[in-house]
Amino acid sequence: MAVFHITDFGAVGDGAADNTHAIASAIEACEQAGGGTVYVPAGNYITGPIVLKSRMTLYVEAGATLRFHTRFDGYPAVPTRWSGYECYGYSPLIYGKDIQKVAIKGEGIIEGQGEAWWEAYREIRRGGSAPESSVRHELMVLNQALAESVKSNIVEWDSQFLRPPLLQLIGCEQVVLEGVTLQNSPFWNTHLVYCDHVNVRGVTFKNPSTTPNGDGFDVDSCSNVRISDCHFDVGDDCLCLKAGIDEDGRRVGRPTENVAVTNCTMLHGHGGVVMGSETSGGIRRVVISNCIFIGTDRGIRVKTNRQRGGGVEDIRINNIFMQDVLCPLAINGFYKHGVDESNPMMTTSEAVPVWEGTPVIKNIYISDILAKNCLASAGFIYGLPEAPIENVVLRHMTLETTLDPEEKGGEPDMVREERVMAGEGMLCKHVKGLELHQVTIETRQGPALLLENVSDADVDGLRMRTRHPATPVIRVKETQRLRLPVNGESAEAGYAVYV
C-alpha cells in the first residue's frame, strides 16, 4: 500500500505551525488512492481534528507527537454518543465514522492538551460561564430536546459544553490500535462505539489523576474486541465496557459482547476493569485474565442501577494481582451516581416493581486473585432486593485488607446507603446463588464474610488466619440455604451468626 508522508503535504513539526490542512490533504490523497498509510515522522505537529477514512493506517513514528490545538471552535459539531446518549458534540480530536479497515499504529504520542478543556469545565462547575463558542451554541439547538430530558451530568447538558474524547470511532469494522501513547484527553481518552472486530495491542492510555471524566479506554456497544499488552494510568476508569444509558440505550439495544482482555497493567483511577454503569444494551461474554491493578480504587467493578436496564452476564475473570485498591471486587446493582434524585424509586432501599429499567447481573466467575492491602473491604456484592445478583462463583482467592490502624478506608462502591468501610471483609447483599471455594480473607476488623439477604450460598474452604476477639468468621442476616462444610450438614439462617 502507498505511504503518504504528511511533510510532503506541507506539515511542519516545529511545534508552532498549524498542520490541520496538511494532514487532511494527506488523508484525502490516501483515500483517493484506495487506501494506504498516512505517515507522521519525528517532530512536534500542531493540528486540529483529524478525520480517518477506510483502508487507512495513521502511523505515528517514534519521536513524533500529534498535538491538538485548544481552540474549541475548531472542533465542529458531529454525531456522537456522549456519556451513553446519541447526540451531537464537539468533534473528537481523532474521529472516524462508518469506516472499515482502519488502524492507528506506531510508537509516537497523540497529545490531547486537555488542560484547557478541563479548566473550562471546572469553571462551569464553580458556577461560572461556559466558554463562548459558536459550536456550543449550535449544540444547544441540535440537542435541545434531549437535554431537556436528561437527568444526569446536568452541568454538561445545561451548558452543552460536551467535551470530546481524544479518539472516537463510531460504527467501524476491522479496527487496529497498536503501540501508540494517547494522553491528556479533554474527556474520555479513547471511545469506540458500535464497532466490530477490534484489536488493541501495546497501547498506553494516560491521563492525570485530576482529569475530570478521564477514562482510559471505553468500549461502548462493540463486538468481538481483543485488548492485550496495554498500560493504563488515568484519572477515572482504566478500561470500561459500556452499552448505552437508560431509555436511549434500550432504544438502540446494542450490547457489548465477546470481549477478551489480557496482559494489561492498570494504575490509579477509579477502577481497573469496569462494566457499566451504562448497561442498557447489555454487556456479556467477557473474559479478563493476567492483569495487574495498582491503586485503582476498585479492581474489578460492575455498576448499574434501576434506571439502566440491560445488565451484565457471563463474565470470567482469572489470574489478577491487585495492590492498594479500595475494594478488589465490587458488583453493584444500586449505583447511585447520576440518578434522578426526585424519583423515589431510584432512592429507596426497599424492593420496587421490576420494569424494563431493572438490570440483570448474573453468571460471574472469578478465580485465582491475589489482592493485598485493600483499604476499604475485601469485596462488595450488592444487588437490588427485587433483582438479586445471580450465580457468583469465587475460587482460589486471597484478599488481604489493610492493617494500618489509621486507614480511614472509604466506600467500597457507591450505593444509596453510602456504606463506608475500612479494612473489613466481603459484604454480599441481595444475592441469589453464591459460591466461595478456597477463599482466604484477612481483615483488620470484623468478619471475613458478611451475608445479608443471600440465598443458596455454598462456602467451602473459607479461611481467616487472624481471628478477632468476639468476632465471627461469617456473619449472616436474613439468609436462606447457606451450606457450610460443618459435619457435612447444611445451615439455614433467618438471622444468625456463625463462627
Instruction: Give per-residue pLDDT as tens, 115-135.
Output: 999 999 999 999 999 999 999
Look at residue 122 and tell me if it is in a domain: no
In a domain, 69, yes or no: yes
- Quick check: bond before 349 cis, omega within 30? no
**Cα separation, 433 vs 208, whole angstroms:** 40
SS3 content of the chain, % helix, strand, coil (to 5): 15, 50, 35
pLDDT in tens, the chain (499 residues): 899 999 999 999 999 999 999 999 999 999 999 999 999 999 999 999 999 999 999 999 999 999 999 999 999 999 999 999 999 999 999 999 999 999 999 999 999 999 999 999 999 999 999 999 999 999 999 999 999 888 767 789 999 999 999 999 999 999 999 999 999 999 999 999 999 999 999 999 999 999 999 999 999 999 999 999 999 999 999 999 999 999 999 999 999 999 999 999 999 999 999 999 999 999 999 999 999 999 999 999 999 999 999 999 999 999 999 999 999 999 999 998 777 777 888 889 999 999 999 999 999 999 999 999 999 999 999 999 999 999 999 999 999 999 999 999 999 999 978 889 999 999 999 999 999 999 999 999 999 999 999 999 999 999 999 999 999 999 999 999 999 874 443 444 433 455 4
Residue 22 lies in a domain: yes
Structural contact between residues 212 and 118, judged by C-beta atoms closer than 8 angstroms: yes
Name the catalytic one among 220, 233, 236, 248: 236
- DSSP per residue over 87-141, as a string? EEEEPPSEEEES-EEEEEEES-EEE--THHHHHHHHHHHTT-PPPP-HHHHHHHH
- pLDDT computed for residue 498 by the predictor: 53
Identify the CA nearest to 104 among candidates 113, 112, 95.
Answer: 95
Note the pLDDT of residue 489. Answer: 39
Catalytic hit among 191, 220, 233, 270:
270
pLDDT of residue 499: 43
Residue 135 lies in a domain: no
State which residues form the domain around 467. 2-113+163-340+357-498
Please indicate, yes or no, if residue 152 is contained in any of the structural domains: no
Has residue 92 been placed in a domain?
Answer: yes
Q: Does a structural domain hold residue 141?
A: no
d(CA 273, CA 263): 12
Q: Is residue 236 annotated as a catalytic residue, yes or no?
A: yes
CATH code, domain carrying 253: 2.160.20.10
pLDDT at 484: 87
Total structural domains within the chain: 1
Give the per-residue pLDDT at 267: 97
| Per-residue model confidence (pLDDT) at position 490 | 43
Whether 118 maps to a domain, the answer reads: no
Report the DSSP beta bridge partners of residue 366.
317, 394
CA distance 104 to 58: 5
